[in-house]
A and B are shown apart, each in its own frame.
Chain A
Amino acid sequence: MKLPLAIFALLALVPILSALGVPLGGFVPLLLGRVMIFAIAAMSLDLILGIGGLASFGHAAPLAIGAYAVAILDAANIHDAVIVVPVAMAAAGFFATATGAVALRTRGVNFIMITLAFAQMIYFAAASLADYGGDDGYTLYSRTTVLGAKLLDGKAFYPTVLVVLFLVWLKLRIIAASRFGRTLSAIRQNRPRAQALGFNAFAVELAAMAIASALCALAGVLLANEAEFVSPAFASWARSGDLMVMVILGGVGSLHGAILGAFAVVMAEEALGRLTQHWPLLFGPSLVLAVLFLRRGIAGIGGRRD
């Protein structure tokens, strides 16, 4: 419990420090805001990937669905989270239920590939939305409000995202510790045995996919607001890959590891990107080295080997 709370405490320090007048510049909150948004998406992926053992290579799809819900409602002049958030989450949950019903028929690598295929469909569907910018994307007229309050704007953005991140983390921890979460974990560990005990593995996994997808849509809503822009690239396969990298790098199944993974990836992009425009030449090899030598992810550093 110590490490996750330390992470949240550090994240909470940023608005406190800037309120006290410490000059952090606009850059640090901006960057950490991004980290937290991706952390929400990566954590939701960790529910199915880490706890459920379902390696989805298409988790950018619910992210994009959430973002496009913001854009489409924005075009209809609806800006309040009371409507935007339920619509985004319901759409992503529905998408996961429909595609999951097909994808869950497959195992292993085929599952990885079929989830990638469904995400590609969302990518092309988004690119065909001519009313919402098509390939070029859509610039929002205004940010989402929460009951009329501008909680996703300016200085309020960072604390709001932090609260959402904390609530999602709490929710996922509760799910993981619940009967449902432990059943999901049991199915990952030994599917035939779980089924022999009378659990409906398919239904449990499908429900987990729907929950993960709906929570990821939340990150999509935040991401659209952060960028004030939405484009098909939100659903690109590289984005799905990034989310997977965050989860695996952070430490599969640990939930808070996803925050560290998101931090590592966003920082690698931004910090190495400032150092040299050829930052992938440093980022790529460090991924390979992390896989070869950091077997339990960043969250596992210093922990005991099991």
Chain B
Amino acid sequence: MTLLAVQLLNGFQLGMLLFLVAAGLTLVFGVMNFVNLAHGVQYMLGAYLGVTCASLAGGFWLGLLLAAMAAGAFGLALEWLIFRHLYARSDLDQVLATFGIIVTLNEAVRLLWGSAPLELPMPDLLSGSFMLMDGLRYPVYRIAITAVGLLVGLALAFLVNRTRAGMLIRAGASNPDMVNALGVDIRRLFRLVFGIGAMLAGFAGVLAAPLVSVEPGMGENVLILAFVVIVIGGIGSIRGAFIAAILVGLVDTVGRTMITDLSHAVLSGQAASRLGPALASMLIYLVMAAVLAWRPAGLFPART
């Protein structure tokens, strides 16, 4: 029972981290119809910049702020330099060009920071743990990530649903040409959305840095999960991304332990310990396939 509680909390925490990455991705995708495989690179850059900024600025918090801003600025620079020339192109061209950017930036990071994994120490304020139940302590830091994710989710929901900019974003997601025809500078809207998305992904990267090892290529695993999230949630929908992120986070962590237990119960020892991990890794993809088979446009598509 206690194990399940820990798994649930871990699942939520992973879900929140995924949400931070997926939120920007789904907006960029939904509003601009732009397939940005390089979004995971922002997450990786966030983590690396976090490590560097924290050591330069002498603290996690200033590092977090600087790194998130730098990642956002870098995203905007990429948008200006390359991506804006790709909006009118096919999905395939966008996939290829952003794939090229992943290849480039992974190597650039390796060149600048080396291939060895780096570490970012947790901030002292959050490095403790608290008593969850008798004999079970849970790290404060993971709870903090979950809380931050929830806050960002609420802030984004407010931005998208209650403000003028959000209204334009929603309108842009459902019919960009019409928004443009009505006199809104859609390019500026794109840049705003892109900047926010890039910054959130970088922010998520810094937050994750104390929990994972910071290394080249760390963005891709998260990117694939984030794509699973937005495809399940329905492209362009913040609400969909939020719910799907929690779903994927929970399925991945809780499912992992449950499948292993379950396969041990059903099968003999050796077969179970082989089949379990494979099934567990496949689980989220199975969920995704099931959701798409049931609702091909995802759970909450922005465009109907």
Q: How far is the CA of A49 from the CA of B89 in the complex (A)?
A: 16
Q: Which residue of B lies closest to A114 (CB)?
A: B292
Residue from A103, A112, A117, A292 whose CB has the most chain B CB atoms within 10 Å: A117
Q: How far is the CA of A252 from the CA of B96 in the complex (A)?
A: 12
Which chain B residues in 84-135 approach chain A with CB under 8 Å?
85-86, 89, 91-93, 95-97, 99-108, 110-111
Cβ–Cβ contact A284 & B224, under 8 A: no
Taking A57-B95, A118-B285 as known contacts, 18 extra A-B pairs with beta carbons closer than 8 A to each other, sorted by chain A number, are: A99-B289, A108-B91, A109-B35, A110-B297, A112-B95, A113-B288, A117-B285, A124-B278, A237-B220, A244-B92, A248-B92, A248-B93, A280-B107, A281-B108, A284-B103, A291-B96, A292-B85, A292-B97
Cβ–Cβ contact B107 & A291, under 8 A: no
Q: How far is the CA of A127 from the CA of B278 in the complex (A)?
A: 7
| Interface residue A245 (Cβ < 8 Å from any Cβ of B) | yes
Q: Give the shortest distance, in Å, between A289 (CB) and chain B (any CB).
A: 8
| Interface residue B147 (Cβ < 8 Å from any Cβ of A) | no
| Interface residue B228 (Cβ < 8 Å from any Cβ of A) | yes
| Interface residue B282 (Cβ < 8 Å from any Cβ of A) | yes
Cβ–Cβ contact A287 & B106, under 8 A: no
Cβ–Cβ contact B111 & A110, under 8 A: no
Cβ–Cβ contact B91 & A55, under 8 A: yes
What sequence of 0s and 1s flags, for each residue 78-105 of chain A, a beta carbon within 8 Å of any chain B beta carbon?
Answer: 0000000000000000000001001101
Chain B residues with CB under 8 A of A57: 95
Q: Give the shortest distance, in Å, between A304 (CB) and chain B (any CB).
A: 21
Q: What total of A-B pairs shows CB separation below 8 Å?
A: 130
| Interface residue B275 (Cβ < 8 Å from any Cβ of A) | yes
Chain A residues with CB under 8 A of B293: 102, 105
Cβ–Cβ contact A291 & B100, under 8 A: yes
B interface residues, how many (CB within 8 angstroms): 45
Cβ–Cβ contact A278 & B107, under 8 A: yes
Q: Please judge, given known A-B contacts A125-B278, A291-B96, whether A280 and B285 are in contact too, CB under 8 Å.
A: no
Cβ–Cβ contact B96 & A248, under 8 A: yes
- Main secondary structure, interface of B, reads helix
| Interface residue A229 (Cβ < 8 Å from any Cβ of B) | no
| Interface residue B195 (Cβ < 8 Å from any Cβ of A) | no
Chain B residues with CB under 8 A of A106: 292, 296-297
Chain B residues with CB under 8 A of A244: 92, 95-96, 99
Chain A residues with CB under 8 A of B227: 113, 116
| Interface residue B49 (Cβ < 8 Å from any Cβ of A) | no
Interface of A toward B, CB cutoff 8 Å = 49, 55, 57, 99, 102-103, 105-110, 112-114, 116-118, 120-121, 124-125, 127-128, 130, 237-238, 241, 244-245, 248-249, 252, 278-281, 283-288, 290-292
Q: How far is the CA of A244 from the CA of B35 in the complex (A)?
A: 15
| Interface residue B187 (Cβ < 8 Å from any Cβ of A) | no
| Interface residue B29 (Cβ < 8 Å from any Cβ of A) | yes
Q: List 19 A-B contacts (CB under 8 A).
A: A106-B297, A109-B29, A109-B235, A112-B35, A113-B228, A113-B231, A114-B289, A124-B281, A125-B282, A128-B278, A237-B220, A244-B95, A245-B96, A245-B99, A248-B92, A284-B103, A287-B99, A291-B100, A292-B82
Cβ–Cβ contact A117 & B288, under 8 A: yes
Chain B residues with CB under 8 A of A49: 92
Q: Give the shortest distance, in Å, between B284 (CB) and chain A (any CB).
A: 8
Q: Give the shortest distance, in Å, between B36 (CB) and chain A (any CB).
A: 11
Q: Give the shortest distance, in Å, between B77 (CB) and chain A (any CB).
A: 14
Cβ–Cβ contact A112 & B91, under 8 A: yes
Chain B residues with CB under 8 A of A118: 285, 289
Cβ–Cβ contact B100 & A287, under 8 A: yes
Q: Which 4 A-B pairs have the closest CB atoms?
A: A284-B104, A287-B100, A128-B278, A280-B107
Chain A residues with CB under 8 A of B281: 124, 127-128
Chain A residues with CB under 8 A of B96: 244-245, 248-249, 287, 290-291
What sequence of 0s and 1s flags, for each residue 50-64 of chain B, a beta carbon within 8 Å of any chain A beta carbon?
Answer: 000000000000000
Q: Please judge, given known A-B contacts A112-B91, A116-B224, A116-B227, whether A281 and B86 are in contact too, CB under 8 Å.
A: no
Which chain B residues in 8-40 approach chain A with CB under 8 Å?
29, 35
